[in-house]
Chain A
């Protein structure tokens, strides 16, 4: 007679009752798209559960919205562009820190079609460009143009609801749109219906450097439950590695929670975010790290684009690197 399985299950049950899963609310900065599929992989593949976390995922409306919700305690952890966190600090501060870098390259790019006559950034002069009303790219846009010797006033900029960007580009109502490179597959599928191709002009090719999308946590969580945060980031890291290795499985995980999603598009979206997650910078510095020089450069872009005095914010005070221990 073998008592091992019985003992094992008893031991598990005891563990379970001693360790009721800890609740953790994760605030996304946008609707569940392909770039977020790894979070759902963490949920469905059991990485969060293995660390004793009961995770709830909330969709958001932009980085500012996500950071505000984490800061006000509506969520424990979240995601957002670190430039938005820097803006928040310049405007009086929110009790939120960036605890892990996700994108070590900026995702901002210009989407256009072969017929628009835009091949490089220089060609946007005299053209009409549409952007989301509250995109973090908007404040960077004029600075990127100026640093490439283009007069921003020469470009007609429309601010619209993000859902209208791809259709407007497909209909030829605008010459280009400003999007994160991660949504390229979704936009491509809209353009295809109009018989057009997508041309992506990433701003990284025009001198834009710095950290972008990051994992953030509230000061309250950092102070009161540091161990929880450590376990969450460990699980998140595993989920990321899993999604990078299996984009299709991660997409299926997202779809199991968000039935409206299209697996092929999600997988393609996540694939297009991999170069932002893994590149020469992460190879040099290690994944998730905030290298001080590049962090300072990131703040430099924000300060220039929002007319803040360079000394107004110390970017080092906005990151907490102590949770990245493996």
Chain B
């Protein structure tokens, strides 16, 4: 019994919270437009129908994953460049910090005006939100390779690229995956921010649309789906890490 409790503690806690929420809404007769009960949220989700949900989910996932891929494609070479060249590091770092310090939400409308209202601006917004931790963490990881190993490889006349592929990159793996985990949740947030500014489908758009036409339960259902989506993607990255680099699982400190 105790071991069961231990094993399913988080699920149980979740169920208890949902039950309290449902009971609270019924006992205090909370109006639907303030906070709908879980049952109302589920009913509204079923009413909307699976095809519509899939359509919105696909739109958001497409933007999130494209933005994520673009962030990785930009961040990894950039991180290698920064660790390789002090000059590049001095030139680029201030800019990276400036981009990171800019509230993307505030400049999102400007991005939409300059790039139009297609998928492109949404992907750009997502990339901008997701890429910074990837660069910093990867650069930190690449610099974390023990100096004596680097010395050794140089004394053996190893070419530069092998220094990276065989020493620096393996040492950076835990750092990269730590950043990949953070970045995937940021990519989902980025996709939603982008949809708030310009979209005609997607879960972020659905939340705005639902609240503006008083279908608050639908908005909550979309929110729940977004959170689940984020959690699943996070779990996927963790699983990939385990599958591909089991030797690097001791997290960096």
Q: Does B108 sit at the interface, judged by CB under 8 A?
A: yes
Q: Does A134 sit at the interface, judged by CB under 8 A?
A: yes
User: Cβ of B215: which chain A residues have Cβ within 8 Å of it?
Assistant: 91
We find that the number of chain A residues with CB closer than 8 angstroms to chain B is 32
User: Cβ of A130: which chain B residues have Cβ within 8 Å of it?
Assistant: 117
Chain A's nearest CB lies how many Å from the CB of B52? Answer: 14
A87-B214 in contact (CB<8A) = yes
Chain B's nearest CB lies how many Å from the CB of A80? Answer: 11
Q: Does B165 sit at the interface, judged by CB under 8 A?
A: no
**B202-213: contact bitstring with A at CB < 8 Å (1 yes, 0 no)?**
000100110111
Q: Does B233 sit at the interface, judged by CB under 8 A?
A: no
**What separation, in Å, do the CA atoms of A160 and B116 have in the docked complex?**
10
Q: Which 4 A-B pairs have the closest CB atoms?
A: A134-B212, A91-B214, A160-B198, A64-B212
Of B196, B200, B215, most buried by chain A (CB within 10 Å of CB) is B200
User: Which of B33, B112, B113, B196 has a CB less than 8 Å from the CB of A72?
Assistant: B33
Of A67, A139, A163, most buried by chain B (CB within 10 Å of CB) is A163
Give the bracket for the number of chain B residues in contact with chain A.
20 to 34
A72-B33, A159-B205, A160-B197 in contact; A87/B113 too (CB < 8 A)?
no
Q: Does B18 sit at the interface, judged by CB under 8 A?
A: no
Which candidate, A19-27, A141-149, A166-174, A236-244, is the interface stretch facing chain B? A166-174
Chain A's nearest CB lies how many Å from the CB of B24? Answer: 16
Interface residues of A (CB under 8 A from B): 62-65, 67-68, 71-72, 84, 87-88, 91-92, 94-95, 130, 133-134, 139, 157-161, 163-164, 167-168, 171, 173-174, 306
B197-A161 in contact (CB<8A) = yes
User: Cβ of A87: which chain B residues have Cβ within 8 Å of it?
Assistant: 213-214
**What separation, in Å, do the CA atoms of A306 and B112 have in the docked complex?**
29
Q: Can you show 17 pairs from A to B with CB atoms below 8 A apart?
A: A65-B211, A88-B33, A91-B214, A92-B32, A94-B31, A133-B205, A133-B208, A133-B212, A134-B208, A160-B112, A161-B197, A161-B198, A164-B109, A164-B113, A167-B113, A171-B113, A173-B113
A72-B34, A139-B213, A158-B200 in contact; A168/B113 too (CB < 8 A)?
yes
**What separation, in Å, do the CA atoms of A133 and B207 have in the docked complex?**
11
**What separation, in Å, do the CA atoms of A174 and B118 have in the docked complex?**
12
**What separation, in Å, do the CA atoms of A306 and B213 have in the docked complex?**
10
User: Which of B32, B198, B211 has a CB less than 8 Å from the CB of A159?
Assistant: B198
A160-B117 in contact (CB<8A) = yes
User: Cβ of B112: which chain A residues have Cβ within 8 Å of it?
Assistant: 160-161, 164, 168
